[in-house]
Structure formats: structure tokens, C-alpha cells
Structure 1
Amino acid sequence: MGPLLFTEYIRPISDIAISHGIRYHIYADDTQLYISFNPSIPGDMEHALSTLTHRIHEIKTWMSSNCLKLNDSKTEFFVAGSPYNLKHLTQIELAIGTAKTTPSETVRNLDVMFNPTMTLSSHVNFLRRSINFQLRNLWRIRQFIDQDTCHLAVLALISSRLD
């Protein structure tokens, strides 16, 4: 099945999200649902979590009846907000299938790491570790390659990560 046909095949997922006021992104076989709430409004968080739980169940039911599977173990749940609001949130759990899930500390979206306060510190640390790994590997083979080849390897392996 090609990408256009697959996109049309999974279109009901977007219909489920839209009909209940949930924003979404679908990228290949990855679906992301977004819902916002105001923690200063009593019951708003609980309503948002309940809506999300019911829609995930509805999507899971649709997927199973259409020979697709929502992988509960790979499903992540993420809450982003200001440090003040996050500090005042009570215990948050989302029911996905039979399991209760707590928010992830970081999530990866199109190779960018996000943390709950959206400061990108997790992404910077991820890049730092990745670049150090590549530099160590280049150091191991440096004696076997000339300077121009080393320069090209740095451009390909390290500069591309910074772009």
C-alpha cells in the first residue's frame, strides 16, 4: 500500500479527532493527538484526560476492526506547560488500553527532543551526546584518513546534526 492510499485508509482517525475538538498530526504510521487544558479551571484537566482516554479507545477500536494495531507499550503521554503550572498539577494518569500511563519526561518529535517546560535542554543534551559519540568514532580512525576526508566526515556526521 502506497503512502497516499495509506493516508486515505487511516483518514477516519482524523475524523474521530476532529469531531471531538482534538488536534492531531499524522506522520507515516505515527499519530499524535493534542488537547489543551487550563489547570486553574477546576475539572478542566480531568475533562481533557477523559476526552483523550475515550478518543484513544475509539481509535483503538477502529484500528482493530480495520486490521491495524495501536501498540499500547509504544504509546506515550506528554504534558507541557510553564514550570509554575506543572508544579501545581496533581498526579496525572492516562488510561491506554488496560494500563495507566504517566507523562513521559521527554518525547521525540521528528528528531527533536522536547521536555515538559519546552526549554529544549533535553534536545541540546541529546545532540551533545550524539556529537561526542561521532567525534570519538572519528578519533579512532583519524590516523587512517587524510585531512580532507576527515573534514568531509565531520561535515557529514556532525555538522548535519547541528543543522
Structure 2
Amino acid sequence: MQHNFLKLNSDKTEFLLIGSKSTLSKINNPTLTIDGTIVSPSPQARNLGVSFDSTLSLEPHIRHVIKTSFFHLRNIAKIRPSLTPPAAEKLIHAFISSRLDYCNSLLLGISSTNINRLQLVQNSAAQLITRSKSWHHITPVLKQLHWLPISHRITYKILVLTYKALHHLAPSYLTDLLSQEISLRSTSAGLLCIQKSNLHSFGDRAFSRAAPRLWNSLPQEIRTYESLTIFQSHLKTHLFTTAYP
């Protein structure tokens, strides 16, 4: 911090212990002494707008996203009769979609219950734009708007990050986590090595393991595109077809 001309504020310093519930239960409330101040573990910590908890369930972050999103949805609903569909969609993207997509790559591997809670937010936004009734089937509405479901939006974000990392358009620490398979078969071109993990709960969610697994599941044609724009376009089409067969 001295090197970057920063001063440590020990009164505002906190630390977070991350592990499984069984592991954390065996730890007897450790403390750190920083600059004469005793710091105890925090139940959650906020970093770049995302609230992390000790078990990486991201429950606090998801609760905040849902609460804030529905607050804005209620406000938009009040003026919806005065808005054209394009204007309503712009408001939804500005206040709702941006929150659902922010750092959503961190949500890979969370419980299906939490995914469904976030999907409910997107469904409500789609119903508000199209003014469809709550008892109407939501899939045709999402398909009409050309919106990917929450789970596929997470996959899309990770695959775009993977493409950027492989083409040196992302930070080097992401590129260093990926390595390509060496194979003489043309069908294996562009495949990535999937690293082993000891813990399915945390290890399978790591970028070094999740990104290669999702990348290798793509058709070879999509993996080999040289342009980021073309890759994004064909990737969304592929995921859209998968979401709405």
C-alpha cells in the first residue's frame, strides 16, 4: 500500500474466511491484529459491488440484486402505460438487465433455487415490457424478446471471457489459467485442458475448470472464429437455440 501511496485504515479493515460449513465450524473464531487493531472475521465482505459470504453461496449478493430489481420494476410499472415498448425495454435494460448481468460469471455453480429466484426477476421484467399476464407461459415471451435465460447468460459471460483470454484480450492472470490440448486429431482443435479439482463445491466453479469444460462443449466452428464480434453473435445464436429448442 505504501508503494501505491495508500494508507491502511485499520478501523475499516475486515477479513473473510472462506470454506465449507463443516470446515468453518471447526475454526474457533480467529482474529488478526493489524496496526494495533484486533480484527475479527466478517460474515460477508463486499468487493467491487459483489457481496461474498463465507461459503461462496452468494446469497447476500443475490438478495440485494432481487430486492433492488423489484424496487425498480415497481417504479417502472407505474409509468409503463405512458411508455412505448422500445422505451420500456431501454429502462429495463438500464435498471434490471444490467444488475442481473453484472459479475454474473461468479454465479456459475450456485444452487438452482437461487438461479430460479433471479429468473423470476427476468420473467417479471419481460412481462412488464410485453404487458403479458402473470399466468401466461413465460418462455414464448422471453423468446419473442430474444432474451437468454439467466443460466445461459452466465454461460455466455464465461465463454466470452474465455475467448478474450485465449486471444490475449483479457488480463494475463486469466490467460495463465488456460492451456490448450495437444492432439493430432482435427476434431480436437481448439480444445482446452480441464484441470482436476478436489472439491466439487468450490473447485468445479473455478474459472480454470469451468471455462475449459464449457468451451469444449461448443461446436468447433464457433471456437475457431477469429473475430470477437462474430464469435459473440454465433455464441448467442447457439445458446439461444439450446435454451429454446
TM range (shorter): 0.5 to 0.7
CA shift, 1:148, in A, is 2.2
Residue 73 of structure 1 deviates from its aligned partner by: 2.8
Q: What is the CA-CA distance between 1:117 and the residue it aligns to?
A: 0.8
Give the structure with the higher percent strand.
Answer: 1
One-letter code of the match for 2:68?
A: S
Does 2:89 match 1:148? no
Question: What letter is aligned with 2:6?
Answer: L
Deviating above 4 A after TM superposition, structure 1's stretches of 4 or more consecutive aligned residues are none
Residue 102 (structure 1) shift: 1.1
Partners of 2:79 and 2:33 lie apart in 1 by 49
* Partner in structure 2 of residue 101 of structure 1: 39
- Show the 5 A alignment for 1:40-51: none
Q: Closer, same or farther in 2 for the Cα pair 1:152/1:85, shift >3 Å?
A: same
Instruction: State the partner residue of 2:30.
Output: 92
How many equivalent pairs are there? 101
What SS class does the counterpart of residue 30 from structure 2 fall into?
coil
Query: Within 5 Å, which residues of 2 pair with 1:10-159?
Result: 13=1, 63=2, 68-159=6-97
User: CA separation in 1, counterparts of 2:19 and 2:4?
Assistant: 36
- Structure 1: give runs of 5+ residues left out of the alignment: 1-12, 14-62
The whole-number CA distance in structure 1 between the counterparts of 2:53 and 2:4 is 34
Give the equivalent residue in structure 1 for 2:128. none
CA distance in 1, matches of 2:77, 2:21: 40
Q: Aligned partners of 2:5 and 2:61: how far apart in 1?
A: 35
Tell me the equivalent position of 1:160: 98
Residue 236 of structure 2: aligned partner: none
| Counterpart secondary structure, 2:66 | helix
Looking at structure 1, the residues matched to 61 and 72 of structure 2 have their Cα atoms a distance apart, in angstroms, of 16
What is the one-letter code of the residue matched to 2:51?
Answer: M
Deviation of 1:158 after TM superposition, in Å, equals 0.5
Following TM superposition, by how much is the alpha carbon of 1:112 offset from its aligned partner in structure 2, in angstroms?
2.4
Which amino acid in the other structure matches residue 151 of structure 1?
A: E
Change (3 A) 1:142 1:96: farther
Using the TM superposition, give the Cα deviation of residue 136 of structure 1 relative to its aligned residue in structure 2, in angstroms.
2.5
* Post-superposition CA distance 1:95-152 (Å, at most 9, x none): 1223211111111223322110111222211211121222123234334433321121
Residue ranges of structure 2 left out of the alignment (5+ in a row): 102-245
Percent identity between the aligned chains?
37
Distance in 2 between residues matched to 1:83 and 1:91, nearest whole Å:
14
Q: Deviations over 1:68-96 (max 9, x none)?
A: 31122322211011100111110211112
Q: CA 1:131–1:90 in structure 2 vs 1: closer, same or farther (change >3 Å)?
A: same
Structure-2 residue corresponding to 1:4: none
- The structure-2 alpha-carbon separation of the partners of 1:119 and 1:66, relative to structure 1 and needing over 3 Å to count, comes to closer
Q: Which amino acid aligns with 1:94?
A: L
Any idea what SS the aligned residue of 1:79 has?
coil
